[in-house]
Structure 1
Amino acid sequence: MSEDWLARWREGRIGFHRSEPHPALTHHWPRLGVPAGTKVLVPLCGKSVDMRWLAQHDYPVLGIEVAAEAIEQFLEQSPAEVSRYHKAGFEISRQGSVELWCGDFFHLHIDQAAEIGAFYDRASLIALPPATRHRYAFHLAQLIPPGAKGLLVSITHDESWEGPPYSVPAEEIRTLFEPNFRLVHLEDNPEQEDSKRESVWELERRGPHG
């Protein structure tokens, strides 16, 4: 997956990128009741402007992205100063309250995510092939503390259309996440011209006793 993802950024095949914050984020995030100041994990973050929206609303961001091109393009969107440093196998760039960690999401360890208190996934799960999605859901659960909430935006489409983004239906989302999260299906967005339909979910990490 990583090689294909890197090739997409090198070649500019990033049709999944949006120039404005995602409506699901701006509409549903305030309803989660995540306290201001909570650091938000954004896996496979690309150069998403959703991270700037979160930062502007007093939510520090820790974004993980394997493509250095995506990180540099994000940083170029703002004239704000950038600090860079290396930590535990990641090259980290910080701009304001956004930290971008360049590296493999699956190499992020619990101790490195100690400050995380929420998460946002708009294009992470749907970027992964089926076998890797199980690993992703389990790893995310390891990084997120009990009681922490997150927003997940998934996509369904005609399976004959190759991903990414891959089609991840509601049944699979429940199978992947219900062992470790409480799920609330918030909405399905109208089908788009290319037959993709978005679904939006609220997730809350279960505690040790469910």
Structure 2
Amino acid sequence: MDSVHENEWLMRWREGRIGFHREAAHPALVRYWPRLGVPGDTKVLVPLCGKSLDMRWLAERGHPVLGIELASQAIAQFVAEGEAPASRYRQGDFEVTRQGSVELWCGDFFHFHLPQAAEVGAFYDRAALIALPEATRQRYAFHLAQLMAPGSRGLLVSLTRPDNAGPPFSVEAAEVERLFGANFELVHLDDAEPEPNGFRESVWSLKRRGPY
């Protein structure tokens, strides 16, 4: 994320402009995650996680969760809204907050590297790709592929909208295929009904390709 969009993201959290936050687990996660066949003890990476309740849903099903978030306000709110005690420590460039089986790494996703991802075996992206401007999405897809071992699975929720505004940004199916197709096996699972504002979500399963 470039500095302009980083500042916009941080300002949204400071001002409470987080209309993208859902007060329950995302229906696509609930419906499609079990179909991926990810073992219950697999650690799940959640990039640009905000304070998403999807992380608690995954944790309740046995997954250790590693969320990465730039805004410290999001992490503080996630912890405050939980019941378990939290611990904090540093890991490289990141301040890490752990609550139960959820680790929240505060910092830049692009500074998260392979040694730190050694235990990660799956990922979930409901709001990361669509939060990034077009110029950054290719970098994001490549970096995500670098972090995931061959055979790792993930669930992606993309979005299209009738205007060119954002975030969230409109990412058409052809762009999803172009961004991820080289490194992941892609399956288009579903298109949701359009919302009143014209937003329409699409759901994808991804499997990291192995070496040829």
With the length of structure 1 as denominator, give the TM-score of the two structures.
0.98
How far did residue 49 of structure 1 move? 0.2
How far did residue 61 of structure 1 move? 0.2
Which string of whole-angstrom CA distances, capped at 9 and with x for unpartnered residues, describes residues 54-97 of structure 1?
00000110000000000000001112110100111100000000
- Read off the aligned partner of 2:22 and give its amino acid letter: R
One of 82, 87, 96 as aligned partner of 1:83: 87
Q: 1:25 and 2:44 equivalent?
A: no
- The residue that corresponds to 1:54 in the other structure is 58
One of 121, 125, 128 as aligned partner of 2:129: 125
Which string of whole-angstrom CA distances, capped at 9 and with x for unpartnered residues, describes residues 36-60 of structure 1?
1000000000000000000000011
Could you list the runs of 5+ residues in structure 2 that have no partner in the other structure?
none
After the TM superposition, which segments of 4 or more aligned residues of structure 1 sit over 2 Å from their partners? none
Aligned positions of 1:60-99 closer than 5 A: 60-99=64-103
Aligned positions of 1:187-198 closer than 5 A: 187-198=190-201
Which string of whole-angstrom CA distances, capped at 9 and with x for unpartnered residues, describes residues 104-148 of structure 1?
000001000000000000000000000100000000000011000
In 2: Cα distance, 1:56 partner to 1:204 partner: 23
With the length of structure 2 as denominator, give the TM-score of the two structures.
0.97
- The residue that corresponds to 2:202 in the other structure is 199
- Read off the aligned partner of 1:132 and give its amino acid letter: T
- Read off the aligned partner of 2:90 and give its amino acid letter: H
- The residue that corresponds to 1:148 in the other structure is 152
How far did residue 159 of structure 1 move? 2.6
In 1: Cα distance, 2:163 partner to 2:203 partner: 20
One of 177, 182, 186 as aligned partner of 1:183: 186
In 2: Cα distance, 1:199 partner to 1:32 partner: 16
Identity of aligned residues (%): 65
In 2: Cα distance, 1:13 partner to 1:166 partner: 16
Q: 1:136 and 2:133 equivalent?
A: no
- The residue that corresponds to 1:16 in the other structure is 20
- The residue that corresponds to 2:7 in the other structure is 3
In 2: Cα distance, 1:118 partner to 1:104 partner: 19
- Read off the aligned partner of 2:163 and give its amino acid letter: E
